[in-house]
Structure 1
Amino acid sequence: MRLGASPLQKCTAAIRMLAYGCSADQVEYLKLGASTTKECLGQFFDGVIAQFAIEYLRNPTSEDIQRLLREGEDRGFPGMLGSIDCMHWVWKNCPGGWKGMYQGRSEATTVILEAVASRDLWIWHAFFGTPGSCNDINVLQRSLVFNDIINNRAPQV
C-alpha cells in the first residue's frame, strides 16, 4: 500500500478551489491538509502554464495579427483584431465587507471579466476581477488591453 494522496485527489482539490473560489481548508473531505492543497494548486498552475503557455497564454505574434486582420476584413470589419466583451460573473462567496463594491444595479455581487477573442474563440486577452459596480468605461480604464497602444508598443493597425 502506498502512502500519500492520489493524483486524482490532488487535481480535484485544485480544480475545486478554482471552480468554487473556496479556500484550501474547505476541501477537507478529500482528506488533504490545507498546506498540501495549496501546494497542489501551485503545481496545477505550473502544469497548466508549462503545457499551454507557448501556444495560448501569450500575446498575438505578427502572424497571428495578420490572420486576425484578414478575418476581420472578411467579416466586414477592416482593422479589427478581435471582439472585446465585458461580462458579469456572479461571485457567490464574496466577503461581506466587499459586497457593496462588487454589487451593481442587480442585487447580486459580480466580478467583471473582460476578454478579447477571435472568431475561432482564441482568447488573446483576459482581464478578470474588476468590481461589478463598475461600468464598461471604468473597466476599460483599469484594463491592460490598451497599455501597449498608449506606450507605443502595439502593432500599427
Structure 2
Amino acid sequence: MKVASAYRFDPSPLPERKRRFIHCDREGGGDRLYRDYFAPEPVCGPHLFRRRFRTRRELLLRIVNVLEIDHFFQQRPDAVGRFGFSPIQKYTAALRQLAYGTSADCCDEYLRIGESTVLSCLKKFCKAGEPTIILEAIASQDLWIWHAFFGVAGSNNDINVLNQSTLFNDVLLGNESAVHFVANNFHHTRGYYLTDGIYPNWSVFVKSFTYSGDKKKRRFKLMLEAARKDVERAFGVLQARWDIIKGGIAADWDGDADGGESSSVPQTEFNTRAPSDFAAFMARSSSMKDTRLHARLRDDLVEHIWARFGPIEP
C-alpha cells in the first residue's frame, strides 16, 4: 500500500527576520531617576535614598565621578546624536543587582535599560572595584566599623592581611591616640583589640583561652567571646544590606564585558619611604609585638573582670 506524503517542499526563501527594536525611552528613565533621588528637592528624601542605595547621596556622587574616568560610564552621543545612558543610570543598574540580588531584566521597567546593558554595567563596575577581596574589619558594639582593609584573595589569611593592613601605621609612627586605663591596679597606656586565637601574641591584641578549668579564666572567656560577636553582627548587617555578599555573582567573567581594554581607573599610590626616626620606629614596633605585655594585659583583665562581675552563675 502506498501512502502519499503530506509534506511539500517549498523552494522559495524564508522571509528575512529583522532585529526587534523596542523604544525604551532611556531619556525618560534618566529624568525619572533624577527627579526621584538627585534633584534639589527630590521626591524621595535622604532616608529613602539611603535605604535604596545603601549609602548617602554625597558619597554616591563621589563614586560616580570616579567611575566616569572609565570610558564605559561616560555619557556620549551615538551616530545620530542621541545621548546614551547617564553614569548615574549605569551605576544604579549595577547597584540594584548588588544590593538586592535581582536579575538583570528587573531594571528595565524603572531605569529603561535592557538586560544586556545592565549586565555590562555590573561587570564594568565590579572590574573597576576588583570584586574578589578579603575584608578585615574592626567593629564596636553599636555596629560602627572603625577600620576596614580590603586585600586580594588567594593565599591571604588573617595574618597575611594583618601584615598588609594600615591598622597600626599610627602606632608605629607615634601618632596613636592616647588611651589610659587601669586594670588590676596596673596602669596601661595603649588600647587593645579583641581577636580570635589565630592572631599573634601582641600587646595590642587580647585573645581568649582555648580551655581552662580555672573559674576566673572561664568568666573572662565567656565575656570576651560575647563581645567578639559584635564583628559577626556587623558582617550580618552587611549581608542583609548587600544581598550579593551571601551568594556572589554567578557568572563567568573572563575579560571585559565588551571585549575591549581594561578599566582605566587609576591605581592607588602608597608611601614607601622609611620613617625619619628609624630607631624610634623600631622601638614602637618592638613594644607593640611584646609577648610579655600581651600576657600581662590579659592576666590583668582576667583579674579585673573577676573582681567586678564574680563567678558565672550556675
Q: Could you tell me the TM-score, scaled by structure 1's length?
A: 0.42
* Larger strand fraction of residues: 1
- TM-score of the pair, normalised by structure 2: 0.23
Q: Which has the higher contact order (CA 8 A, sep 6+)?
A: 2
Q: Which has the larger radius of gyration?
A: 2
